[in-house]
Amino acid sequence: MKIYSIAFQSLRRRKTKTIFLIIGLFLSVTSVVTLITVSENINRSVAINLDEFGANIIITPKSDQLMINYGGLSLGEVSFNNSQLSDNDLQKINTIKNRKNLSIIAPKLFETVNLKGKNVLIAGVRFSDELKLKKWWVIKGKSPLPPNNILVGSNTAEALRIKLNDTVSINEQRLVVSGILSNTGSQDDGLIFMDIFTAQTLFRKLSKLSLIEIAALCYDCPIEDIVSQTSSVLPTANVTPIKQNIESKMMAVHSFERFSLGISLVMLVTSFLIVFANVNSSITERTKEIGIFKSVGYRNSHILQIILTEVIAASLTAGLLGFFAGISASKLVLPFLSMHGLSSFTYNFTTLPIAVLLSLFVGITACIYPAIKASRLDPTVAFRFI
């Protein structure tokens, strides 16, 4: 038998006390783990779904003659004739420090043409990127794949009486309408989309671009960083963040994080008090026991060791149990909190050491004062209580 065996027997044979001690710590660990896991999952789902909110950075050339309004946003003036952006700029953007945060880069070339007596704005796009950027698009027909296919916005289709699979002639190039965009309520309804390379060839603007849209997954780094990094590689361009696309969403996430932090603190203080009261009262009850240990020649440090071993063992147990309970609780509550429905639930095993350390921290800080007080108890006083 060693000193710690005394502590273990005390935990084992005085079950009610032990269980109360563990429950005090367990509750706070569980709630902290739940809150951490829930906010992690919500943040992650925001990050994954961030591109669903469209572009959050727009790059336009600096010197311009015409105003263009795109996507309901004023983009400043865009030069149609003397485009200063080019395909080279796309490569430059891919050299910035936070390039991993750039989830979609969608270059565009705009050109007005006269079709059936009406001015129509043509947008040359990379369809692969554009479709990712505009997840809300509903296309009747096929999304255009071959270079001579076009996608027509609903208003334009109506105004020009263009139907699916019609052929449209632009600059003497025959193009097939492979898809018609359902009403989006945005500027896109008035556009005709075609492959950007086809547009560049057709309008003799090889490698020229009118603007570049970027969707950056930037939920934990400031979007300003990405903007300034991009500006420095493109000194002749305007790089404009579109904050309102993500800010309200981020605000919801951050306020949930603050709420979690608040609850965690309250739970920690509560369990600190539970453990403190528990250890303190059990030490008063154990006065006689401490007198016995002293009378058989235990040092103060031996007595402290017994009390601390008990608290540490209880804290470790509470930390482990609390971790798994917290993960399970998160799994239960997340579907009610997530607005996207939960595609996948993840939890982080780094939360386990956090849980255990937290439990130990609360356990030890709550018991250290009563424990030291107990170990210094005068044994003759201890025996007089009996």
Partner 1 sequence: MSLIEIENVSKEYKSGTEIVTAVNNISLEIDRGQFITIMGESGSGKSTLLTMLGGLSVPSKGKVLIDDLNIYALPQNNLSDFRREYLGFVFQTFHLIPYLTVEENVMVPLAVGDLTRIQKKEIVHATLDKVHLKEKSKRLINELSGGEQQRVAIARALINDPLIILADEPTGNLDSKTSEDIMDIFGFLVEESKTILLVTHNKVYQSYADKKIFLKDGKIYGGD
Ligand X SMILES: Nc1ncnc2c1ncn2[C@@H]1O[C@H](COP(=O)(O)OP(=O)(O)OP(=O)(O)O)[C@@H](O)[C@H]1O
Residues of this chain that interact with partner 1 (CB under 8 A) are: 1-3, 5-6, 9-10, 12-14, 288-289, 291-302, 378-380, 383, 386
Residue 124 partner contact from partner 1, ligand X, none using kind-dependent CB cut-offs of 5 to 8 Å = none
Distance CA 360, CA 173 (A): 74
10 Cβ contact partners less than 8 Å away, ≥ 6 residues apart: 306, 310
**Overall residue count recorded for the chain in this entry:** 386
For the beta carbon of residue 307, count every other beta carbon within 10 angstroms.
Answer: 23
Least Å distance, CB 304 to ligand X, is 24
Distance CA 286, CA 303 (A): 11
* Residue 385 binds ligand X, judged by CB under 6 A: no
Nearer to ligand X, 273 or 381 (CB): 381
Residue 117 partner contact from partner 1, ligand X, none using kind-dependent CB cut-offs of 5 to 8 Å = none
**Cβ proximity of 145 and 125 under 8 Å:** no
Element containing residue 193 per DSSP (H, E): strand 191-195
Least Å distance, CB 294 to partner 1, is 7
φ and ψ of 240, to 5 deg:
-120, 120
Q: Which stretch binds ligand X (CB under 6 A): 136-144, 317-325, 367-375, 376-384?
A: 376-384
**Cβ proximity of 110 and 68 under 8 Å:** yes
* Position among 97, 258, 373, 384 found at the interface with ligand X (CB under 6 A): 384
Nearer to partner 1, 247 or 378 (CB): 378
Least Å distance, CB 285 to ligand X, is 20
Residue 161 partner contact from ligand X, partner 1, none using kind-dependent CB cut-offs of 5 to 8 Å = none
Q: Is 36 exposed, middle or buried (0-12, 13-18, 19+ CB in 10 A)?
A: buried
Nearer to ligand X, 343 or 380 (CB): 380
Least Å distance, CB 386 to ligand X, is 12
Residue 288 partner contact from ligand X, partner 1, none using kind-dependent CB cut-offs of 5 to 8 Å = partner 1
Range 342-371, binding ligand X (CB under 6 A) = none
Nearer to partner 1, 5 or 248 (CB): 5
Q: Is 157 exposed, middle or buried (0-12, 13-18, 19+ CB in 10 A)?
A: buried
Residue 301 partner contact from ligand X, partner 1, none using kind-dependent CB cut-offs of 5 to 8 Å = partner 1
φ and ψ of 44, to 5 deg:
-65, -40
Q: Which stretch binds ligand X (CB under 6 A): 73-81, 311-319, 359-367, 377-385?
A: 377-385
Nearer to ligand X, 324 or 383 (CB): 383
Distance CA 114, CA 186 (A): 21
Nearer to ligand X, 190 or 379 (CB): 379
Residue 331 partner contact from partner 1, ligand X, none using kind-dependent CB cut-offs of 5 to 8 Å = none
Residue 142 partner contact from partner 1, ligand X, none using kind-dependent CB cut-offs of 5 to 8 Å = none
Size of the site for ligand X (CB under 6 A): 3
Distance CA 218, CA 216 (A): 5
Nearer to ligand X, 136 or 385 (CB): 385
For the beta carbon of residue 229, count every other beta carbon within 10 angstroms.
Answer: 18
Q: Is 263 exposed, middle or buried (0-12, 13-18, 19+ CB in 10 A)?
A: middle
Nearer to partner 1, 296 or 344 (CB): 296
Distance CA 52, CA 133 (A): 7
Least Å distance, CB 384 to ligand X, is 5
Least Å distance, CB 287 to ligand X, is 13
**Cβ proximity of 122 and 259 under 8 Å:** no
Say how far residue 65 (Cα) sits from the centre of its chain.
40
* Site for ligand X, rule CB under 6 A: 380-381, 384
